[in-house]
Chains A and B, each alone.
Chain A
Amino acid sequence: MCKMQESASTMVEGYLSLENIILRSIEEEHDELSCPQKEETSCSEKEELIDIATLVQSNCSKVPYYDLHIIYSASYRVPVLFFRAYYGDGEPLGFNEIEKDLPAHSAKALLDSKWMFITQEEHPYLNRPWFKLHPCGTSEWMKLLFHVDVSVAKNGVTVELYLLSWLSVVGQVVGLRIPLEMLNQQ
């Protein structure tokens, strides 16, 4: 479940951004870990990596925050998810740490299938290294998604609907869940 701490959805210089969000909650898979109830209840499975001695203190400031940007790729002609993660103190997560933080089931499935994979490259607007989900497979699986939708075949698809469908797949890699009601707007 997605917990929004501070979120900003803005279109700045041609991309969509959702920032400072916590994507893991205490209800997620590794809930055998106990985290004392504080006002923050989002302790992620990151805690598995902390050794037992510190687990008692249950350091919830080690919850990763994510920035997600959706940027259109002119060369692939599809949207691309750029993302980065950092702890509350600002320390960024490296690739290995992010990989461990991704939701085990869905992320692994999508990444292993080679429908998409994570690369690190310079953010086209911010000129800093971000992670991205490589877009080379996007048009293929987007075609599959829309292939079975009769109304799309007839009427085409709006940008909003395209992005929702796209995000339903891409969101599974980072653990962002789209509410079903949002997707059910036919």
Chain B
Amino acid sequence: MAADSPSSVRKVVVHLRATGDAPILKQAKFKIPGTDKFAKVIDFLCRQLHRETLFVYVNSAFSPNPDELVIDLYNNFGFDGKLVVNYACSMAWG
């Protein structure tokens, strides 16, 4: 699909970081269109790790709403040219 403007094809580099006892991905960095919702990152993670749910959060100590656009998250919380997304599995007691 042809892009109307540069911003519509702008991709964001996302770096997925395992925390706690969560499994580490073989490939942890990938690019995603900035116009995609954060839900896509969450879904991708869940599929890759074969899990129904994950606790997903960014470095500034908050968990993004799945409806947030990746580009907005990058603009606010990205650094070094990427958005770091941390993920954890269920808590020990769960």
Contact = CB atoms under 8 A, between A and B. Distances in A.
Given A109-B53, A115-B55, A145 B76 contact: no
A158 B66 CA distance: 26
Nearest to A144: B88
A62 B60 CA distance: 37
B55 A144 contact: yes
A58 interface: no
B91 A115 contact: yes
Interface in A102-161: 105-106, 109-110, 112-115, 136-137, 140-141, 144-149, 152, 157, 161
A165 B55 contact: no
Given A148-B19, A152-B61, A165-B62, A180 B52 contact: no
Contacts of A181: 76
A27 B85 CA distance: 26
14 contacts: A109-B52, A112-B53, A113-B90, A114-B91, A114-B94, A141-B88, A144-B19, A144-B57, A148-B19, A157-B61, A165-B61, A168-B64, A172-B66, A180-B77
A145 B19 CA distance: 10
Interface of A: 105-106, 109-110, 112-115, 136-137, 140-141, 144-149, 152, 157, 161, 164-165, 168-169, 171-172, 177-178, 180-181, 183-184, 186
Contacts of A147: 19
A177 B67 contact: yes
A32 B44 CA distance: 25
Nearest to A147: B19
Interface of B: 17, 19-20, 39, 42, 52-55, 57, 59-68, 72-73, 76-77, 86, 88, 90-94
A106 B94 contact: no
A164 B61 CA distance: 9
Interface of A is mostly: helix
Contacts of B62: 145, 164-165, 168-169, 178, 183
Nearest to A27: B67
B63 A109 contact: no
A141 B61 CA distance: 10
A180 B38 CA distance: 13
